[in-house]
Amino acid sequence: MYKKIKGTEDIYGKDMKYWYYIEKIARETARLYGYSEIRTPIFEQTELFVRSVGKDTDIVQKEMYTFEDKGGRSITLRPEGTAPTIRAFVENSMVVTGLPKRLFYIGPMFRYERPQLGRQRQFHQFGIELIGSSSPMADIETIIIADKFIKNLGLVDYKIIINSLGCERDRKKYREALKEYYGNILDKVCDDCKKRYNTNVLRLLDCKVDVEYAKNAPKIIDYLCENCKNHYEKTKEILKELDIKFEENPRLVRGLDYYNGIIFEIHHGKLGAQSAVGGGGRYDKLVKELGGPDTPSLGFAVGIERLIIALKNENIPVEDFKNNEIFVAHLGEKAKLVALEISEELRENGISVVFNTMERGLSSQLKHASRLKCKLCIIVGENELERDVVILRNLETGDQVEIERDFIVGTAKEWLEES
Ligand code: HAM
């Protein structure tokens, strides 16, 4: 027997309603804010991610599914959706349709991480990208969308955490300050941090081991230039006026290198170690880096698997979609065609019908109907047809009546509405 690859999931059955629910609210939120969908390939040239996510990040260093295709090209399964979206924006010259361009995506991403609850090797994101605005109004709107989306799902136990990484020049000064600070205590920090000290010193701030050292580290806010500080202040001020709740964390850094300016994460209170349900921020240099015009941009993405855990942990009721409402059983050769006709008539009325396609006796058909949790069963029998009637049975209560053939669809519909 074959088994699924470690860190992947088969999604089916009872969980499906959560996927439909989240995807529906994601699409509706995107629509309300003027976003249109983009579906990029799930694999890209490896270089795209090295260039954008950053060669020294964990994602590029340790987590990418990279392989050579039969043509000798280096290919990578996308670890995230921003770089492909921006690649598509540049390649398809979307700039001609006017800026800002608002794009959203829903789909699988791949990272070779150690699987645990809320962390998989294939996971799914809903993300949005607002391409072409440098105004704080874009940051504000993006954070509002993230907040509204999470709220619309019904979640309450979450926090939005924000920080500003400033511009390139601010970060250069800040990196120097961090190097000086950590340089003095380098023998005390963990081995990972020792390595990151040279490659990506900002990441020392969100090390899970050296939390205490990070607390006393210099804060980026003290290194922001006038422009970046004003942008950050303006954004916070308007968010407060709009009563969008957020917390500031001067140690918030992101695992991807393309960010600058305001970054944010959404954490859920009942998720344990993998508490980030979403994250995002500004990446003003990325479009140019990938060959496009200078185009300040920003966005965010949420992890759908983590949202599902959050919905379950908060006991948010998610409505099951109406499936398998009526089972249509039949007995005898002559009954088959009539049963099929009735099934089609019910479906034309928007009712989900499971028609018996097996050569089975009535009791096995009814057993199957109960297993599928059908509410009603219509039994078309040769004997009854001679009197032009069929049987309608409520599988939950066991009540059953004979109904004239021509009235069966109307009556079944009424019973369903009442049930
Ligand atoms: P990210 O923070 O790497 O950002 O991922 C966003 C979300 O994807 C995380 O908050 C988490 O919920 C989910 N996620 C990430 N890795 C895993 C995993 N291994 N298993 C399950 N869920 C996971 C980005 O990917 C950026 N592209 C977001 C962005 C869009 N920034 C600007 N625009």
With contact defined as beta carbons under 8 Å apart, do 57 and 257 qualify? yes
End position of a domain, from candidates 265, 285, 313? 313
Three-class SS state of 65: strand
Q: pLDDT grade, residue 115 (50/70/90)?
A: very high
Statement: residue 321 has pLDDT above 90: no
Tokens standing for 408?
């069966």
Is the domain of 291 the same as that of 331? no
- Could you tell me what percent of the chain has a pLDDT over 90? 94
Is the domain of 288 the same as that of 229? yes
End position of a domain, from candidates 291, 313, 335? 313
Range of the domain at 259: 13-167+225-313
Is the domain of 250 the same as that of 112? yes
Is the domain of 103 the same as that of 163? yes
Which atom of ligand 1 lies nearest, measured to the CA of 121? 19
- 47 CA to centre of ligand 1 in angstroms: 20
- 80 Cβ below 6 A of ligand 1: yes
**pLDDT at position 74:** 98
- 280 Cβ below 6 A of ligand 1: yes
Name residue, tokens 């859920």.
Answer: 268
Residue 153: exposure state from Cβ atoms within 10 A (0-12, 13-18, ≥19):
buried
- 370 CA to centre of ligand 1 in angstroms: 41
Instruction: Select from 109, 110, 260 the residue to mutate for testing ligand 1; criterion: most ligand atoms less than 8 Å from CB.
Output: 109
Tokens standing for 283?
């990446």
Number of domains observed in the structure of the chain? 2
d(CA 212, CA 63): 27
- 82 Cβ below 6 A of ligand 1: yes
- 138 CA to centre of ligand 1 in angstroms: 20
- 174 CA to centre of ligand 1 in angstroms: 25
- 108 Cβ below 6 A of ligand 1: no
Tell me whether residue 3 is in a domain.
Answer: no
- Could you tell me what percent of the chain has a pLDDT over 70? 100
Statement: residue 162 has pLDDT above 90: yes
d(CA 73, CA 46): 9
- 129 Cβ below 6 A of ligand 1: yes
Query: Strands 326-331 and 353-355: what pairing?
Result: parallel
What is the CATH number for 124?
Answer: 3.30.930.10
pLDDT in tens, 49-101: 999 999 999 999 999 999 999 999 999 999 999 999 999 999 999 999 999 99
Tell whether the torsion through CA atoms of 134, 135, 136 and 139 is positive or negative.
negative
Is the domain of 295 the same as that of 372? no
Is the domain of 331 the same as that of 289? no
